[in-house]
Amino acid sequence: MRRVLLRPWSGREGKGSMMDEMKALDLLHTKAFLHSGCSDAPAPTLLVLGGRSPSSSWLWELSQVLKGKVWALDRGADVCKAAGLTPHRLLGDLDSISQNAYDWAKAAGALVDRYPPDKNLTDFQLALQLLESPIVVTGCWGGRFDHLFSLLFSVLKAADWGVRTLALIDEREALFPLHGPSSLTLEFSTLPESLSLLPLTRNCEGVSAEGVRWPLEDVTLEQKWPWAVSNIPRSSARFKVAKGVLGVYAAFEEC
């Protein structure tokens, strides 16, 4: 079982404050979650993409929690530079990175993998083929639907060769792919606005949800008819799936 704790944060409350920025980050603060329940598992690699930029303070704190390597994909290097977070690797066709961020990353010693723009695979897919550790992905929300669609199903494909995605996350949204049979517990000090269970495979069987306004017990969720959306969490919520890949999605503010 993966257990995810949201610890209290002492920052001032209010929209746009540090309190808001830390909500989603706190989902990552337990070793059991970060290492997928295996004490000898490698630290996850943080992939910083070029979608909606997380706040610099949130991104820096996330990197300190994960304690793994940081890979910047194209414009993700600009996001890293703004946060003062030097990437270990810079990857992609580099068609959207600023020259300033490119020069900075290269001077800082980042390994640069530059690909031609005329290619079949996305930058994210190229990165997945090089990875050997679990990953946490940020900078993936808030952009085009086709980009998110490709990214999400590429995450599922990469699990076939052992690269598991622990979270797609920023301070506004988080998605945890839960591969059955497994369970996930979320403990909240500050509640997200909603929780949804999204079947990422054709069917998700044996799905249960506790600690929510509308609990579920041993149901089957069908990808073509996803109805388990916009639930309301309590202070602690637990989810289980027996078969399939279930996306546990938390929205911390309307996007």
The C-alpha atoms of residue 224 and residue 136 are separated, in whole angstroms, by 27
CA atoms within 13 A on the CB side of 255: 15
Question: What are 19's two structure tokens?
Answer: 């309190």
pTM for the whole thing?
0.85
Name the class of domain 42-170. alpha beta
Name the class of domain 1-29+172-255. mainly beta
Domain boundaries, the chain: 1-29+172-255, 42-170
- Using DSSP bridges, classify how beta strands 194-199 and 233-241 pair: parallel, antiparallel or unpaired: unpaired
In the block, tokens 């309590």 appear at 234
Which CB contacts under 8 angstroms, 24+ apart, belong to 220-223? 221/197, 221/246, 223/199
- pLDDT in tens for each of the 255 residues of the chain? 444 444 333 333 333 443 334 444 555 543 334 444 445 667 899 999 999 999 999 899 899 888 899 999 999 999 999 999 999 999 999 999 999 999 999 999 999 999 998 889 999 999 999 998 899 999 999 889 999 999 999 999 999 999 999 999 988 899 999 999 998 888 776 788 899 999 999 999 999 999 999 999 999 999 999 999 999 988 788 999 999 999 999 998 765
Asked if the domains at 1-29+172-255 and 42-170 fall in one CATH topology, the answer is: no
Question: Three-state SS across the chain?
Answer: CEEEECCCCCCCCCCCCHHHHHHHHHHHCCHHHHCCCCCCCCCCEEEECCCCCCCHHHHHHHHHHHCCCEEEECCHHHHHHHHCCCCCEEEECCCCCCHHHHHHHHHCCCEEEECCCCCCCCHHHHHHHHCCCCEEEECCCCCCHHHHHHHHHHHHHHHHHCCCEEEEECCCEEEEEEECCEEEEEECCCCCCEEEEEECCCEEEEEEEEEECCCEEEEEEECCCCCCCCECEEEEEEEEECECEEEEEEECCCC
Angle of CA points 44, 153, 82, to nearest 5°: 50
